[in-house]
Amino acid sequence: MLSTYRRGFTLVELLVVIAIIGVLVALLLPAVQAAREAARRSQCTNNLKQIALAMHNYHDTYKGLPSGYLAGFGANAWESGNQSSWSWGSFVLPFIEQAPMHDQLTPGRFRLSDAITAGSPVDRVALLQTPLGTFRCPSDTGPEVNNRGNQLRNMSDGNVPAALSNYIGNNASNRWHGGGRLISPAAGGSSQ
């Protein structure tokens, strides 16, 4: 009688193949994660380039860089209550392809404290909570909106969350009159 030979893997061969595949996956997974992080870092660098280009375009348009913050507005810009407090990020919005948002926010036309007051005639809370990819690094896994309880505390009761940014700019000093730009209607809305 002839013996029958069955083709196939033995249990030992199957376990060896599974172990080899497991080792290959363990070796490749960190390389894939490193490549993803490199792509995220590249996107962060690109965001900074976009912001720098927006600053240059702002300069070409207005013959000066945007102020760190807008200190005041109106005929009596230095008087108490006229602190505007809009930052450079709001002024470069048209130059990072966010012109519709800039047109809705209208920074510098009224105080930021009025814009973050829900129900005010110039309520812009929803817009200020809109995260913008250009201002965020993809490696940041934190929340897109500041919900810590002390948001915008210098201008409100601290209950107004705002969209976060990973990139900062110099806002001169902690005093509202410490170097920001003034907008005067007498100068046709231009800075002084």
Q: What is the mean pLDDT of residues 183-189?
A: 41
Spatial CB neighbours of 83, under 8 Å, sequence gap ≥ 6: 71, 72, 111, 113, 176
For the ranges 16-20, 29-33, 145-149, 153-157, the one whose mean pLDDT is highest: 16-20
Q: Band of the pLDDT at 20, cuts 50, 70, 90?
A: very high
Q: What is the mean pLDDT of residues 144-152?
A: 60
Q: Is 158 left (phi over 0), alpha (psi -120 to 50) or beta?
A: left
pLDDT digits (tens, 9 = 90+) for 86-134: 788 888 899 999 888 888 888 877 777 777 777 777 778 788 888 888 8
DSSP string, 42-103: HHHHHHHHHHHHHHHHHHHHHSSPPPSBEEEESTTTTSTT-B---BHHHHSGGGGT-HHHHH
Determine the 3-state secondary structure of 33 from DSSP: helix
Q: Is 159 left (phi over 0), alpha (psi -120 to 50) or beta?
A: alpha
Whole-angstrom distance, CA of residue 78 vs CA of residue 66:
19
pLDDT at 8: 74
pLDDT at 46: 93
pLDDT at 72: 59
pTM of the predicted model over 0.95: no
Whole-angstrom distance, CA of residue 45 vs CA of residue 67:
23
